[in-house]
Chain A
């Protein structure tokens, strides 16, 4: 069951009410991220950062491997008599830095998509014709029927009380 709200502030207030009512399977939709909405929905910090750390560390190790592997073991090149052992490491820093950033950025991008369940080209919300405004100037809140606390009349009342308009039921297909 979904409702439309007239502004970001109204959606924010409504989200706090839905959170306090104890719902779990619900979401709000807005054309831009609303500052403070994560707290209003009772969501914590995004741990996407963990994946980025993992990506960065693996980039650093990859760089160390592809630099020390060939230069110290597989085919040591004697250039200007410079060392080929561990003491050559300062000259390896630029590539270590670049690959740390590269792998970290890939991790950030793909973790963002994966944690959001994207790409997902089908979603029940798209069945609602008003929902095209979610990427323009519309603010929406939807509570799923799968939520254990979901009861049609109660949810409708909650959405109405919080200022929701155009309250409707959206079907899966």
Chain B
């Protein structure tokens, strides 16, 4: 990292370890000014792609291509190419759907709920988290779409009468799910694009080639930073945040209704909506950190995504991870307390049945125990510990969904119809393919669009305040930052 002259004690990461509990550490370190932020963030898009980017993109795009081939093979041959059979009719496909939708929750949580709560640290991470949300929802939408078998009949999900004049059953949670996920995707796109408009204008004004200027110009809608525009813009942003807040909580609730309204032991549970939402935020934040920690290192964004940001995200992972742990405990308690023998058996089977290690490793170790490390500050401040926990959570949340879905199905009420789920190569490569699609889209995003919301990060600088200091002196702040209102 290049250094610019700064006051002692605010140099990079050292500043955050200074024990001054009552003084707020600045969100942007090293007293960077507006134009430094513009240069550094736009530079990610404008400079030639680094070599690691091409290496990473080659790998992820290859996985994505093979995943698309698997989808094509599955569609042209039939759902039988997946390992689905009686009694496990929902296998990896729906597991992957719930997994990806869950990851898609962190972005809107960061942009909407943290915005309403005036958490200014969100500005460094909200853009990339929102992009991640969109890509995760795209990956999620693939699975139920293909799972219907005859994808060309997917329009039956739309609120239209089919060719026999029959309408969809609007009392079905599966129809609610279609509305919830498509609304979530659309609103997330609107929110993301609204936030992008001022930054696209920045890129337009910096563009060197005509074609870039033209394209950024089109998408920036002629934004010029006028305060008469900012006035409506801020109101629109506030209201979008207000609308997206209940929305983000509703999406995984509706997904959980798919299970909770059935009569299957372990699915038929009133705890599901909050349990799923907490798990989604938990997994989503882990994925945000998984993507941002390497990006921050590669593009030298340490002054914008500071140890303080990582610390706060780790605390959210600890909080939501503890919610999830509580929900797991409550499920066992209710199974015992209900006195229902099927329910009791299902939970006994979860821990000691054929999928026992999924529970011990995935749910217990990865989801409940590993985030407890974040009680300790040195764990939250150590990038390797943070990354290890995030990888555990990423894996653990997939296992959790597998246990809920397949764990609920593989031991039917009748022992004669018991069976296990064996994934085929198509199952495995379709999932790997969506990992490739997700990471490829993210890599393209950081090369083509500003990955940090410039106009929003600038507000967190002290000199953005209308009452800041005198008109000429730009740096009269005491070392270590000051209280901001």
Residues of chain A touching chain B, judged by Cβ–Cβ distance below 8 Å, are 5-10, 12-13, 15, 27-38, 40-41, 43, 45-46, 48-49, 52, 56, 66-67, 70-71, 74-75, 77, 79, 82, 88, 91-92, 94-95, 97-99, 101-102, 104-106, 108-109, 111-113, 115-116, 118-123, 125-126, 131-137, 163
Contacts and interface: CB of A to CB of B under 8 A. Distances in A.
Query: Across chains A and B, which 8 residue pairs bring their CB atoms closest together, nearest first?
Result: A137-B34, A119-B221, A70-B167, A112-B236, A12-B466, A46-B235, A91-B171, A10-B471
Interface string B22-55: 0000000000011100100000000000000000
A75 B165 contact: yes
Contacts of B183: 98-99, 101-102
B225 interface: yes
Contacts of A34: 227, 230, 464, 466
Nearest to A102: B183
B463 A7 contact: yes
B72 interface: no
A35 B235 contact: no
Contacts of A105: 186-187, 190-191, 240, 243-244
B56 interface: no
Interface stretch (B201-209, B287-295, B305-313): B201-209
Interface stretch (B78-86, B338-346, B376-384, B451-459): B451-459
Contacts of A135: 38, 198, 201-202, 204-205, 223-225
A64 B240 CA distance: 23
Nearest to A76: B167
Given A8-B466, A9-B467, A43-B228, A136 B202 contact: yes
A49 B161 CA distance: 35
Interface stretch (B58-66, B146-154, B174-182, B391-399): B174-182
A49 B236 CA distance: 8
Contacts of B254: 94
A70 B179 contact: no
A109 B225 contact: no
B371 interface: no
Contact of A134 (B165, B176, B225, B472): B225
Interface residues on B, range: 35 or more
B292 to A, nearest CB: 22
A99 B231 contact: no
B468 interface: yes
B232 A32 contact: no
Contact of A115 (B159, B232, B250): B232
Nearest to A7: B471
Given A46-B231, A109-B194, 14 more contacts: A5-B471, A6-B471, A29-B224, A29-B225, A32-B456, A35-B465, A35-B466, A36-B467, A94-B180, A95-B179, A98-B183, A99-B179, A105-B187, A132-B205
Contact of A112 (B194, B247, B472): B194
Given A27-B228, A32-B456, A119-B222, A108 B170 contact: no
B170 A95 contact: yes
14 contacts: A12-B466, A29-B224, A30-B230, A33-B231, A38-B227, A48-B236, A75-B161, A98-B183, A98-B247, A108-B239, A116-B226, A119-B221, A120-B222, A163-B471
A32 B466 CA distance: 12
A33 B234 contact: yes
B419 interface: no
B222 A118 contact: yes
Given A106-B190, A116-B232, A126-B224, A94 B176 contact: yes
Nearest to B39: A136
B225 A122 contact: no
A38 B231 contact: yes
B423 interface: no
A147 B172 CA distance: 60
B227 A27 contact: yes
A92 B170 contact: yes
Nearest to A28: B227
Interface string B235-259: 1100110011011001000100100
A37 B191 contact: no
A122 B222 contact: yes
B414 interface: no
B118 to A, nearest CB: 12
A123 to B, nearest CB: 6
Contacts of A45: 235
Contacts of A132: 205-206
B465 A101 contact: no
Contacts of B232: 46, 48, 111-112, 115-116
